[in-house]
A and B are shown apart, each in its own frame.
Chain A
Amino acid sequence: MAQSFQTTLGSRHYRFKSLAELMAKATPARSGDRLAGVIAESAEERVVAQMVLADLPLTTFLNEALVPYEQDEITRLIIDDHDAEAFAPIQNLTVGDFRNWLLSDQATSEALSDVRSGITPEMAAAVSKLMRNQDLILVGKKCRVVTAFRNTIGLPGRLSTRLQPNHPTDDVTGIAASILDGLLYGSGDAVIGINPATDNVAQSVKLMRLMDDVIQKYQIPTQSCVLTHVTNTLEAIEQGAPVDLVFQSIGGTEATNRSFGFDLSILAEAEAAAQSLNRGTVGRNVMYFETGQGSALSADAHHGLDQQTCEARAYAVARKFNPLLVNTVVGFIGPEYLFDGKEITRAGLEDHFCGKLLGVPMGCDVCYTNHAEADQNDMDNLLTLLGVAGCNFVMGIPGSDDIMLNYQTTSFHDALYARRVLGLKVAPEFERWLTEMQIFQDVKTHRLNDQLPAAFANSLRHLPKEPRHDV
């Protein structure tokens, strides 16, 4: 039974018609909620909403679905999979108490891991709305989510990178050039992942083979992924293509995912198919998901919710399928959802916190488009904050410039900066490989080799003399 929520502050009476409205109005300001018409009408109303939210018992979210159970398979997933036993230690807390508990010395990494399956996305979203950036960082760092395929991602003191060698026409030499550049800067332990210029099966299989050849020849302890639609990857598996990870963009409502052309049963099928190939050596996490605040509104599938709550619900989808990597592409969607560096930074920290709290191996595409009010300095700040928060991985791209997707993300150099100032290392298996290949002089002090390593010097001798144009 839906209830309304009200309080009086001085002479003013505030009333919030629904839990969805209360959640939306308690959300720190951002353009996407303004666009959706769900944002608080004043700064005071926002804090009043946070105060009312702080007094709600966590159990409210088990009794009142924000998207109706009958209409949405993600709501059903959240409710049906809720683990009452894990929830027991926190079941009597309000949202405000929950914040205190998360920050307290009682909430050790082990305790956080134990309650994980008792926390719903809506509880995570609600408590995040009361938290300052430093709270999101502190608790995020305590939550550990470790996954594995050909190496181990998310161990304490590690920061991995996705090597993203995109090319506007998928030119194989152009892609190989960016892969070489990345490897020689120590990038690629999370995954070597290509966004194909053309999204079809034949093209994807070609790129899968290209990356598989490189990984095999140099015996790189990492995995590859072509970021094509899940149904394309399923077809590629049927054709016998070398598929390491299955990619899919996911959202937090069933209608969002239908607009992306899949449902939960397809993800289950894809996970089983990729696992049946047995290509991992140290683990069996075979899924790579991408998310981002604003995708549900963009698909007109947000059910009147704020964009951050929708985003947290996407992590319920992710955790169901044991992903190796989940990447919030935080600044890609544009200023109508996250207007400037401040909003992008806040969203990146929220997404990392909510994902980790729910047990999702969160990484972040620290990024912006040219029409957002953001620049490299904003990205430096967010990258540093996420490094402190224990983010599992970030992107690595030549010189921050994605020439295929036309946006800016973190560079190979940026990741090395973060590792140096924060004392972070790559995945352990990859660390050994970097040393063996003589890419690093000293991997502990983050010193690259000034000389070109022998194996790669040899490869450069095979370069074609001139690029062929317009064949």
Chain B
Amino acid sequence: MIAKMILRGREYEVKPGMALADALKKNNIVPESVIATRNGEMITDDEILRAGDVIQLIAVISGGNISCDSHL
């Protein structure tokens, strides 16, 4: 049984026994740009993924609020 990561609806299959940070890198996901949760609980980058895990990845980057920076 594999582990699974989900980011914005896209699924990534991961071999169990791999650390989260390695799984992210293997799938070209920059660890700094996501937060991972398992069963609603946040997990750290060194967490080892287990068979059957479903890891929800929450994207952290937003681009909407940096234009309010200067005066008129």
The answer to whether A and B belong to the same complex is no
By a beta-carbon cutoff of 8 Å, the part of chain A in contact with chain B is none
By a beta-carbon cutoff of 8 Å, the part of chain B in contact with chain A is none
